[in-house]
Amino acid sequence: MAGLAAHAAVSPATLHRRFQAQLGTTPPAWLTGERLAPACRLIELGEARFETVARRSGLGTAANLRALMRRETGAHAAGVPAPLRPGERPARRRCGAVGPAARRAADTRRP
């Protein structure tokens, strides 16, 4: 995150405070969500190789992708929905909402 802070011409602490104030999350959590969302989309579109999905979405390895999916969405490799058929559009986010904001929203809906 030091590189991102330098690019924004602020200190890492200032970057963290601004992210928290504006987005309600930390820079690393935001970045994870930004990388996990396209990974989920690739899976929904039929890419079955987790290694390819992880590489294309910036998550590195299939193991990292699986761990982040489990942590952020509660889904795991065996629970990932089947790919969409040609022309099919998901009725809702099938890979689950990602990121801390989505988890907080889900927590407020629980009894």
How far from the centroid of its chain's Cα atoms is residue 56's Cα?
13
For residue 26, the number of C-alpha atoms closer than 13 Å in the C-beta half-sphere is: 6
Give the structural domain span for 102: 27-83+91-109
Mean pLDDT of 78-96: 54
Q: What is the pTM of this model?
A: 0.64
Tell whether the model's pLDDT for residue 86 goes beyond 70. no
Query: Considering the domain boundaries, does residue 4 fall inside one?
Result: no
Q: Which one has a higher pLDDT value, 100 or 7?
A: 7
Question: Would residue 19 count as lying in a domain?
Answer: no
Cα gap 12→3, rounded to integer Å: 9
For residue range 1-59, what is the model confidence (pLDDT) as tens digits? Answer: 788 889 989 999 999 999 899 989 988 888 888 898 888 888 888 877 889 999 999 99
* Inter-residue contact 33 to 98 (CB < 8 Å): yes
Written as six digits, the tokens of 37 are 């969302």
Total number of domains in the chain: 1
Tokens of 21: 């104030």
**Within a domain: residue 99?**
yes
Q: Is residue 32 part of a domain?
A: yes
User: Could you tell me the sign of the dihedral formed by the alpha carbons of 75, 76, 77, 78, in that order?
Assistant: negative
